[in-house]
Amino acid sequence: MSKWIALKINKRQETSVLVQLDNAHRYMVQKSRTSLRVIVEFILFTVKQNIPQRGHSEDRSNTGQDSDVNRGNLIEFLHLRCRDIPWLPERLTSQLATHQQWLSQNILDEILNIASDLVLKDISKAVGKTGKFSLIVDETTDVSNKEQVPVCLHYIHSGQPAETFFGFYEVKSAKGKALFQLVLDVLLKMELRIEDVVGQCYDGASNMSGNEKGVATRVQEVALKTIYVYCYGHSFNLALQDTLQENTAIRNALGVVQSIDNFFNTPKRENVLRSVHMPDIDPTPYSSYIKLKSLSETR
């Protein structure tokens, strides 16, 4: 009888069990998207502001409640949002039981990769509309002793010159052939053609500007109208280094400045320097102390 009555109601309302199941599924999908949107918004905010997301102790069982332990920026942000989103605490608790909170490191990395791909896709579309662009490539060694290659593109966007950083790419070899293949792979990923390159800007290293096997020569073999320009910033830096090395007075002055930094580079001596009275800055000791800095070879 109950099934018969339910059937008459469904016919009267022009619905069915399949429609009800579909509506229930749509409702669950909408709730999941709303919950995920809260997490994605904060992830994008942390990336834009360069804020760490993870914490040393991440207890996700009571996100809606206060905790004496710092659970990291992501969990604490969700705890803060639980105050103004009434359904969020119950949602996170129910998802915890089914392991679907979307707060694991793998999920966060996947969201970041998706966001990165979307940004690069928009940039590649803007570059593709201009038809022509220039390459800016360099290679350097990071603190872990790995070769990192930053790739930038220079193009015209809305009538104005624009320069966009595409990313760091690790290479196993710093030879011209390997760097040229990297450039091809990056352009292929961005759906850009190497034949549309009209300008190149590298430093003067043989692997970049060599006449036979350098990246500039290899690109010019494919893009015949490409012009190679030696990086002016790198040239200026080399000129300054040579000038400072040849000028005895400047070289000695910089040596004295470096020796002063070496002398005060201990906690005891630095505390003595902090206590020195600086009448032109502030009469109170320790209030406006400026720490000495070591010289940089490239600056």
Mean pLDDT of 277-287: 56
Nearest to 75 by CA among 289, 89, 94, 185: 89
89 in Cβ contact with 82 (< 8 Å): yes
Residue 171 has pLDDT above 60, yes or no: yes
> Can you give the pLDDT at residue 96?
72
Q: What is the mean pLDDT of the chain?
A: 82
Our CA angle for 30, 31, 37, nearest 5°, is 90
Residue 289 has pLDDT above 70, yes or no: no
**18-22, 229-233, 293-297: lowest mean pLDDT where?**
18-22
Residue 281 has pLDDT above 60, yes or no: no
**Nearby residues of 240 by Cβ (< 8 Å), 6 or more positions away:** none
Instruction: Give helix then strand counts, H and E, for the chain.
Output: 11, 6
Radius of gyration of the chain (CA): 30
Please name every residue paired with 167 in a beta bridge, in sequence order, or none if there are none. 151
Residue 11 has pLDDT above 80, yes or no: no
Instruction: Evaluate whether the domain defined by 113-234 bears CATH number 3.40.50.1820.
Output: no
Tokens of 280: 């032109």
136 in Cβ contact with 201 (< 8 Å): yes
DSSP string, 228-278: EEE-HHHHHHHHHHHHHHH-HHHHHHHHHHHHHHHHT-SHHHHHHHHTS-B
Domain ranges of the chain: 2-103, 113-234
Distance CA 269, CA 73 (A): 38
Residue 155 has pLDDT above 70, yes or no: yes
33 in Cβ contact with 26 (< 8 Å): no
Alpha carbon separation from 165 to 46, 60, 84, 148, 162 (Å, rounded) = 19, 36, 38, 14, 10
Q: What is the DSSP letter of 14?
A: T
Please name every residue paired with 228 in a beta bridge, in sequence order, or none if there are none. 200
